[in-house]
Structure 1
Amino acid sequence: MGREPVERRRQSRGEVAFCAVVGVMAFLVVGALPGAVVGVVVFAGALGVIRRREPSRLRRERDRVAADLPLAADLMVACLRAGQPITGAVDVTVEAIGGPLGERLAWVSGQLRLGASPEDAWQALADERSLAPLARAMSRAALSGAPVADVLTRLSDDSRQAARAASSAAARRVGVQAVAPLGLCFLPAFVCLGIIPVVASLASDVLLP
């Protein structure tokens, strides 16, 4: 399966403004000409970090694939236990699931019908992080001859546990991200009221007789 071209991410005005604020604060902390250099470097670094962030469309697509994977595995297990071949189980799952996961499973089903080896067809999904567990499990089952239904049942359980762990981690990150803007609001006041008076006092003690 061909990989999609990497989407070039454009920064919004709000993101550029945020990077500029970070650069200005770095300039205020260091001051003078070195502060200007540090401010430019910090601005460019922050902009580079934002530019490398995953586009929101791809992130939403990956999250949906991860959310649909346990249900897709359960559906394939039910079809296999009912006597369907693997291609029939995949086709039923594609119709029921749809979305980005359905598209990828439809591609695998097409490859299997064209005569591709099962391990190669499933392994083609391994490049996507959210589908790598499915690709590894199905490839191992094809190579070892293990019952596919049992393999998919374990995959479904593991995927649900991983989803619960990811939800807990996301909830913890929300707390940290909620505090960060508050810290940025107080940083300029801290610089003006805490650092600048101290530096000015030290400078007066050094420069004045």
Structure 2
Amino acid sequence: MGSRLPEAAELLAACLASGAGPVAAADAVGRTLGGPLGEALRRIAAEVRLGGDPARCWQRLAVVPGACDLARWMARSVTTGVPPVAAVTRFAAECRAGRARAAGARARRAAVLATAPLGLCFLPAFLAVGVVPVVIGLAGVMTSGG
């Protein structure tokens, strides 16, 4: 469910920046995303429309891994009246940066893992072409007494 969180944050930020309210934004993003995260957003919007406590409904989003801050900001916007667009936009940017860092780490790890077999292939060749002839030459010199 948390893997779609960056897209959800970006879409929520875009909806909120365009002037949509938190409930309408959650409903639109939920319908767009689909899946468990989209269903959770649509459920939040439906519960608020049916008269549920908005702060409590938004806190249910905190069960999504990594969405605690997003849930807190959306709930806070309902109780304080402060528009959540700046916080959600910042959260979306943090999600993008985190995803870029993770991709870079995976790429570095793949590069290391790709060089291990190459090293295993070159090690026998290095021993056969570089070390063994030197050892044989030294052994010949040592045994011939010269």
Same fold (TM over 0.5): yes
TM-score category by the smaller chain? 0.5 to 0.7
1:148 maps to which of 72, 84, 93: 84
Residue equivalent to 2:10: 71
Q: Which runs of at least 4 in structure 1 moved beyond 4 Å after TM superposition? A: 176-180
* Aligned partners of 1:141 and 1:151 also within 8 Å: no
Write the deviation string for residues 105-156 of structure 1: whole angstroms up to 9, x where unpaired: 1111122122222221111121221322321221233343321222222222
Residue equivalent to 2:125: none
Residue equivalent to 1:90: 26
Query: Does the alignment pair 1:62 with 2:19?
Result: no
- CA separation of 1:119 and 1:169: change in aligned 2, threshold 3 A: farther
**Which letter does structure 2 place at the counterpart of 1:69?**
A
Query: Does the alignment pair 1:130 with 2:63?
Result: no
Root-mean-square deviation (Å) = 2.8
1:167 maps to which of 87, 103, 114: 103
Write the deviation string for residues 15-61 of structure 1: whole angstroms up to 9, x where unpaired: xxxxxxxxxxxxxxxxxxxxxxxxxxxxxxxxxxxxxxxxxxxxxx4
Residue equivalent to 2:46: 110
The percent identity for this pair of structures is 30
* Aligned partners of 1:123 and 1:139 also within 8 Å: yes
* Aligned partners of 1:94 and 1:106 also within 8 Å: yes
TM-score normalised by length of structure 2: 0.64
* Aligned partners of 1:124 and 1:135 also within 8 Å: yes
Matches within 5 A, 1:21-32: none
Matches within 5 A, 1:28-47: none
**Which letter does structure 2 place at the counterpart of 1:120?**
R
Gapped runs of 5+ residues in structure 2?
122-146
TM-score normalised by length of structure 1: 0.48
- Structure with the larger RCO, 1 or 2 (CA within 8 Å, 6+ apart): 2
**Which letter does structure 1 place at the counterpart of 2:57?**
A
Residue equivalent to 1:200: none
Paired with 2:36 and 2:11, the residues of 1 have a C-alpha distance of 12
Gapped runs of 5+ residues in structure 1?
1-60, 187-209
Tell me the number of residue pairs that the alignment of Structure 1 and Structure 2 aligns.
121
